Structure formats: structure tokens, C-alpha cells
């Protein structure tokens, strides 16, 4: 009696939305990493003085650089939102006999995100 082994299709991740969003989350890390590289180059240019920094800023005005930043921003948002949505699974918190509801864990992450972003914006704008 020979069992039948079904092959796993190469495009398994295209066949269901949850798998596709998992792949989007994985791919997003590449764009986040690429943006970090751009950011580090920027820091290094700043350390080299105002002219180097101005030249770096000018190089970012190309349509390719703007396109990269828009795509990187989109993937950074996917990265953040998809990981936030998993936090209630990773954080098993209990109050007495009751598990802290996932909405509360998720909500507090968003509150913290907004508060920290507002603080950073406040520093930059002042």
C-alpha cells in the first residue's frame, strides 16, 4: 500500500491571503534593512561636513531615490503593522486567572507608537 505524497506547490504563498501577507512581512525586512543602509550613509555624510551632506541630499532628489523611499515606507508600514498584530500572540499576560485581552495589548502598542512618534516629531520641529 503506497501512500500518496502530495507535492507542496512552489506558489503555495500565493494561494491564500494569510500566506501572502506572511511573505510580505518577510520581504518587508529587506526594505527596512535597505533604508537603514541609506540612513547610515546619511549619518556618515553628515560627519563629513555640510557640503558632503548637501551633495547627499541632492542625490536623493532623483526619481529613483524618491520611488525607493515611497516603496520602503510602504514596506516599513507593512512590517510595523504586521508585527504589531502578532504581539498579542507573543505576549501572554495574565491578571489573576484571566488572560489580558489581545485588544488591550495591541491597543497599548499603538498608543506607545503614536506617543513616541509624537515625541520625536516634537523634538525635530522645535
Partner 1 sequence: MANNAPNGTIRLEIFRYSPDKGEEPKFQTYEVPFREEWVVLDAINYIKDELDGTLTYRWSCRMGVCGSCGMMINGIPKLSCAAFLREYYPKPIRVEPLANFPVTRDLVIQLDDFIGKLKSIQPWIVRKDGEKPVSEGVYLQSPAEHARFKDFSMCINCMLCYSACPVYGLEKEFLGPAAIALAQRYNMDSRDQGRSQRQEVVASHEGIWQCTFIGECSAVCPKHVDPAAAIQQAKLSSTIDWFQEVLWPWGGKK
10 interacts with partner 1 by CB under 8 A: no
Q: Are 78 and 27 in contact (CB under 8 A)?
A: no
- Judged by CB under 8 A, the stretch of 44-52, 69-77, 88-96, 105-113 that binds partner 1 is 88-96
b/e map 75-98, b = 16+ CB within 10 Å? bbebbeeeeeeeebeeeeeeeeee
Q: Which of 49, 50, 96, 103 binds partner 1 (CB under 8 A)?
A: 96
Q: Which of 37, 58, 64, 92 binds partner 1 (CB under 8 A)?
A: 92
* 99 strand-pairing partners: 94
Residue 58: CB partners within 8 Å, gap ≥ 6?
none
Q: Which of 36, 66, 89, 101 binds partner 1 (CB under 8 A)?
A: 89
Site residues for partner 1 per CB under 8 A: 1-6, 8, 12-13, 15-16, 18-19, 22, 26, 86, 88-90, 92, 94, 96-99
Amino acid at each position: 500500500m503506497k501512500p500518496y505524497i502530495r507535492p507542496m506547490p512552489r506558489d503555495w504563498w500565493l494561494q491564500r491571503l494569510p500566506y501572502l501577507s506572511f511573505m510580505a512581512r518577510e520581504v518587508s525586512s529587506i526594505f527596512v534593512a535597505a533604508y537603514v543602509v541609506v540612513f547610515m550613509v546619511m549619518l556618515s555624510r553628515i560627519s563629513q561636513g555640510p557640503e558632503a551632506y548637501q551633495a547627499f541630499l541632492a542625490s536623493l532628489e532623483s526619481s529613483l531615490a524618491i520611488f525607493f523611499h515611497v516603496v520602503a515606507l510602504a514596506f516599513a508600514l507593512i512590517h510595523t503593522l504586521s508585527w504589531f498584530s502578532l504581539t498579542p500572540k507573543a505576549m501572554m499576560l495574565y491578571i489573576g486567572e484571566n488572560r489580558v485581552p489581545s485588544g488591550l495589548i495591541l491597543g497599548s502598542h499603538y498608543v506607545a507608537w503614536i506617543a513616541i512618534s509624537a515625541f520625536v516629531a516634537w523634538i525635530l520641529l522645535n
